[in-house]
Chain A
Amino acid sequence: MLSLAEKTPFEREFAERPTQQKTVVQSTTKIRVLLPEPSEIQAWEDLEPSSEWVYAYNDSGWTPLIGLTGRPAALVDLAKSSLLDEAASLSASLVKRVKELTELSENWDGDHAKPIDWNVLNDVVRFLKWLGEQQHFVEPFIVPTFNGLLQIEWHGEKRLLEIEGVKEGWVVGGTIIHDDSRRDYFEGQCSKEEFGKLRKSYDWFSGVEEVWPFPEK
């Protein structure tokens, strides 16, 4: 058992807090737990910067437990964690992008932009996961809009594809760039669950399909 004097300044500060302030939070599957050495704090990977050790206090004094805590999780942390779990099978760069998008707060652009709508971000993640299960795809740009929605963009030399997630479904825009720099524009809409139509629009972008998959108005 460690005495207070044997601990680092960080540990001493933590151990001296009143017991009611030590709250154990939900651990995530990404945290690895190792046996602590009695005389040192080990640096953990994958930890949130505010993680702390758990100490139990009983009649014998402070005892380190096998485990750790982070700062108490706020609702937004739990919502982010849930969304990132959903996105876990995407590439590391897409997961990183999703994480960045969850952290956009109100006025993220300095001009009163809204934070990202969680449902729309979830729909984008679900679509990209589904697309990845169907075929290999080039990683898109995922771009936030002023009103809290998202655009998935693919940029090619001859074709551009933009899929905007809106609350009611998807708005799709395609552009063909001709050799003389002239551009032809195409549009379409579909409901949230019509991933098949979105996949066809990706096939159009990649050149597998020549015909724009949405009917002309």
Chain B
Amino acid sequence: MAEISLQSLGIVIDGMFTEAVPFLDADCGGLAKKCLQLFSGYGLKANQISVRRRDQVFNYELLFQLFNGNGTFKISSERLHIELQNARLKVDFEIIADCVTKMYEIVPSTRLGTSSIAATIQTTMSPPATAARFFSAFSTPKGGIDPVGIIIRALFEPWPQKIKLVMEESAVHPEGLFFALYTDHIGQGFSRETFSNLEKAFTELLGKYDLHFPKSESSAKS
């Protein structure tokens, strides 16, 4: 088995609303207050929350950023948008899970339909120089073409939706692998258990290719 170490992770989650919410029904003041209550521990101040409104009905968004711009949180008429990047340590997974679950608590659950999840992960392989060898195992039988990536789409337990995974040589880390993961979450809540299930599914997927994170980097509970 080849060991891969996390270098950075970014995640974008869009929780689509079942129907667009007009500004007058959105209660942006109440949403802003809840954001302040739940995110003050991460340094959110009142004057960092803004509401941009372009017309009287559907063109508005509530917005704030955390972590020196590495976290962006928006609530518009049609969706909840969460973007977090530059997660580098195991404890960052907890922060991401905490931030996402808090945002899903803030928005009335009856608004939420399907959420799309996109994650990008930069890793390095150990021992080094195995990335090219890793993909050469998938070269064409007649030879002459060496793939530099794999795309798969399948179900992996315990995640209930199909996961699309792009796996290729990292452009940032010469001896590393880059992963892009796309999937959906159907349901109105987004709990830590939801995150844990996604992580377990990703770990299982990696295992199919004899890849694994060191135990110290894995936050999935067994």
**5 CB-based A-B contacts, threshold 8 Å:** A76-B89, A76-B92, A78-B70, A118-B42, A122-B41
Inter-subunit contact B174/A79 (CB<8 Å): no
- A65 in contact (CB, < 8 A): no
- Whether the Cβ atoms of A75 and B87 lie closer than 8 Å is yes
Quick check: B91 and A83 within 8 Å, CB to CB?
no
Q: Which of A18-26, A32-40, A136-144, A170-178 forms contacts with chain B?
A: A18-26
Determine whether B140 belongs to the interface, using a CB cutoff of 8 Å to chain A: no
Known A-B contacts A18-B174, A75-B67, A75-B96; the reply to A105 vs B91 at CB < 8 A is yes
A residues in contact with B172, CB < 8 Å: 20-21
Chain A positions near chain B (C-beta within 8 angstroms): 18, 20-21, 26, 72-76, 78-79, 82-83, 85-86, 105-106, 115, 117-123
Q: Known contacts A75-B67, A75-B84; is A119 also within 8 Å of B40 by CB? A: yes
Is there an interface contact between B40 and A75, defined as CB atoms closer than 8 Å? no
Is the beta-carbon distance between B41 and A117 smaller than 8 angstroms?
A: yes
| Range, interface on chain B | 20 to 34
Q: A113 vs B172: C-alpha distance in the bound complex, in angstroms? A: 37
Partner of A79 from the list B42, B86, B173 (CB cut-off 8 Å) is B42
**Complex A-B, nearest 4 residue pairs according to Cβ-Cβ distance, in ascending order:** A82-B43, A118-B41, A119-B41, A74-B88
- Judging by beta carbons under 8 Å apart, are A122 and B67 in contact? no
Name the A residues within 8 Å of B37 (CB-CB).
Answer: 119
Contact of B70 with A115 in the complex, beta carbons under 8 Å:
no
Contact between B68 and A83 (Cβ–Cβ < 8 Å)?
Answer: no
Interface positions, chain B 56-115, Cβ under 8 Å from A, are: 66-68, 70-71, 84, 86-89, 91-92, 94-96, 98
Q: Are A75 and B8 in contact (CB under 8 A)?
A: no
Q: Are A74 and B43 in contact (CB under 8 A)?
A: no
Cβ of B38 within 8 Å of any chain A Cβ, yes or no, is yes
Complex-state Cα separation, A81 to B220, whole angstroms? 27
Tell me whether A75 and B43 are in contact (CB under 8 A). Answer: no
* B173 surroundings in chain A (CB, below 8 A): 21
